[in-house]
Structure 1
């Protein structure tokens, strides 16, 4: 049995993760964390009325009260780094779906995990289909080096571009390397019209109500085009990957970036 904490349990992703842990026969939910929660136990919430799990406002109090193997984090970018560092320092394996980490932050956390010999996972996207989309895109880039990424999310998402889009661009760059695309003399009549630039690739971020998580990787070549797209219509689509991450980190002795590295 794997003992699990969920940080950010009141958010949409955190709530979905909490339900997944409760329903998984191999997992035991030992505590949940939210700094603004008024409840002291999950059973005070209608949707968890039969679940006896303590609620904590402070992570320090949480680790003093419960014994956990895995820390699932679906919080916000402003606190996710500190939470992940705290989990590692306290011997808890982080499984992090919060995005917005910089390369420097990921390296610091990876180095810390190696020092502590504790496994962990930071995944920009936990949907298996999204991971395949990134892998297929990287493969396609060998033959279609001209590419743009359009990512679309709900209007409450705080970071842009999405972690998935950045990870996709990194994987494409690892395959195609430096490549000049588009007209070298193009001009934006409105700043930002061409989107963000990652090593020559353009990334466009859409934020609208009604969306969940969607990404389209569009390739163009002489006389043909290729579009690779993934859509998450429900947050439940991420839970297979989250559950897999919780199981796999128990076997690791360092933090891994990207679910694709565990498949």
Structure 2
């Protein structure tokens, strides 16, 4: 049996779609311990009772400030973009490392977060999507961008998803921009008709966000060269279970560096 102390975890958004699945899974691990949770709807309750789990009391708080009165090593951020940044910066100031699963934070947000992480000598691992298939898509897309001239991203999600583009699409567009800058054959400015139909320019990549019933989450990158194209696509089902394995990896690896890293593959041997 390992003598290493358990990694103490707080989940912001612990009763949500992805957060609740992660909370349930943590209770079955030997090296992780869920010590607190954030959920405004269930504040003041015991998370074990809310999610029908077994074990000792896991208090649920309404705010990050209250939750961090219970010492923890890692905050897993699974809420909404309008509060996520505050959660992350507050945790860093309290000496807590952060794993980010929330969509909608901008490159500018991450620039500020990276500065604060270095300032407090803490770490932030920002993961647009914890699914291993998305990690591989990102890696394959970076390789393809080295050899293919142009690409665009299609971001699919359910009709109720409020942020567009998704965190996964933002992360992929950012990563492709680090490979090289592409030049459109016809610039958006020279496009005739309704320019908005060409999508949004995100770090030099045209991104199209579909929000329709029937979709859960999907991400597609289409690469084009004369007389050939390459299509890379990830599709997710209704279950949030595929994200648990990646989240476990992120929680266990986030203390292995200082500052900000973007993408789960940055702590993997790929």
Of 174, 199, 208 in structure 1, the residue corresponding to residue 178 of structure 2 is: 174
What is aligned with 1:71? Answer: 75
Aligned with residue 262 of structure 2, among 243, 257, 260: 257
Task: Give the corresponding residue for 1:48.
Answer: 53
Query: Partner residue of 1:103?
Result: 107
2:21 is the alignment partner of 1:4? no
Flag structure 1 segments of 5+ consecutive residues without an equivalent: none
Displacement over 6 Å in runs of 4+: none
Contact 1:188 1:194 in 2 (8 A): no
Taking a change above 3 Å as real, the CA distance of residues 220 and 251 of structure 1, as seen in their structure-2 partners, is closer
Q: Secondary structure at the match of 1:107?
A: helix
1:218 maps to 2:222:
yes
Change (3 A) 1:16 1:182: farther
Residue aligning to 2:241 = 236
Provide the rounded CA distance (Å) in 2 between the counterparts of 1:120 and 1:164. Answer: 17
* TM-score normalized with structure 1 length: 0.91
> RMSD between aligned alpha carbons?
1.9
* TM-score, normalisation: structure 2: 0.89
Q: Is the 8 A contact 2:149 2:182 kept in 1?
A: no
**Which consecutive residues of structure 2, in runs of 5 or more, have no partner in the other structure?**
1-5
Paired with 1:107 and 1:62, the residues of 2 have a C-alpha distance of: 25
Query: 2:43 touches 2:61 (CA, 8 Å); kept in 1?
Result: no
Aligned residue for 1:89? Answer: 93
Aligned pairs for 1:149-160 within 5 A: 149-160=153-164
Q: SS of the counterpart of 1:23?
A: coil
